[in-house]
Structure 1
Amino acid sequence: MAAGLIEGLATAARDIAHPAVHGCDCTTPVLADRADGTVVRHGPLVVKAHAPDTDRTALAAQLAVAAHPSLTGTLLPPLPGPATELDGRPLTYWPHGTPVDPDHPERAPWEAAAELLARLHRTPVPATPAPLPPMRGPVKAARALSRMRAAGPHPAAATVERAWSCVPPWARAEAPLTHAAVLCHGDLHLGQLIHHDGRWLLIDIDDLGTGDPAWDLARPAAWYAAGLLAPDEWSRFLGAYRAAGGPAVPRDGDPWPALDIPARALTVQTAALAIAKSLGEGRALDEVEEAVVQSCDRIAALPPS
């Protein structure tokens, strides 16, 4: 990302964190630097520059939901800050928290993630200045396919395309969502949790909206189906979600009729991004990426959902 954007974010973070202090020499580490979001930290404050094509009206609604009292203890609430843009990218402000430690997967807070999702899904959609948009899970899946196609030819691309053809139009963002208006995160994975003020909270509202709550369980379900998430961890996650009254799956019995379509879409999305990344880096798929492509092969052999 351009150095000017990073420098501008650092300045914005410093000015808000220390409005009366000049010449502060505190460090401002970059927490993320991607086309869809660049994030810097200054002490207890985090500033995020959202993607240039962010729908400003939708973002305002998402911020209002995150700040709503009914979501206290579920979503990280935003901090007040100037409604500014930097290089055509809207800025938002957040408290800093501790992320999940990727070096210790045995400590992954699967139960906390499941309980937060169940609480989110059970919360009535708050009133917002503008209607909350549909959650962007299907849109992100479709964009992953576009990114793979633009990256160039790859031997595994045909397998991914066949699996994508087995996903119904609503899950490919080619038809409107017709599911009940349940509040959804839209992009749940362990990187979307931080520990703040003694508890785990969900972060990243860019895909927050209404739709099928099963989408928020789909990534762990897809990992489990691909053999990348241990059965014990999947059982802990699913069991905690059910125990917390989550509405995405039945309280008892087989959860897969509800999870199958979103899990297929998330599998294809993950495989498409893996192929695009490997092409961009000029390397072969690694073992995990190969496992996801193999899942696409199995999806392509299944009867349509």
Structure 2
Amino acid sequence: MKIGMRNIKTAIAVFICVVIFKIFRMDSPFYAAIAAIIAMQSSVKETFTAGKNRMLGTFVGAIVGLSFALINPENPFLVGIGIVIIICICNKLKWNKSISTSGIVFIAIMVNLNGKSPWTYSLYRTIDTLIGIGVAVAVNYLIFPPNSTEKLIKLYRELKDITFKTVEQRFCLGENPNLSLMNKRISELKVYIEDYSIRFKPKEDKSKVVSNVTEGIKLCRGVYEHLKAIELIKEQTVLNEYNASRINSLYNCSINTNEEMKTEANAAFNYHADRIIDKLYSISRLS
């Protein structure tokens, strides 16, 4: 069984939360630990996003929970009405990913007071969540950072290789390539470069690398989208002489052409092929 870095970082974040609560003799670290687990994601950017969603949900749940607990805590009717209100508020504010957290905090306040002040309990739950999110972000930002620029370049080269091989499969070998791997790598590299920019704030000597990789990702995405469009063409198609000659120069392969084929499907096919080849040349110039 493989233990990944996110697994380890999550455990470290929970450990730190528990230690903080013990050192400062605070109440149960339960909510801080939950916040740390939910906020910990594969990248710093995703951790920020998850933490923000949980914090927004905590505020909504705490405010609604406090309001209803002041009226009558543990009242089943009010608990049900409160959940309806929370969902409506989050949907109205387009905080859909905060609904679950908001509901959990609301229910915790409504059914777990055990004689405590609603004001104090709501404040502590908000502080607990802030601590958990802060710990998760700090751990993901500071512990086991990747080999930054070298990994960025490596991932981009892998994406380029996959892009060129995918196009070769389609035009030189006449196969229908599986585009899911290409799409997955584009998404992974996009997340990594965003995370890289947040974590390392590249200096001027590395800004050109970031700029080239960003442009390369955009071009590879364009190739992917045109290949997806070609997949939708079900009629027989063939490259025209111009596109065939350019593919031959890129891959040193021999492709038969048929200038007599004048169907709309073939025209669409060659339009997308032309765009793909243009982008491959642009990617080569970025290297």
**TM-score normalized by structure 1?**
0.27
TM-score (structure 2 length as normaliser): 0.28
Q: Which has the larger radius of gyration?
A: 2
| Greater fraction of residues in strand | 1
- Greater helix proportion: 2
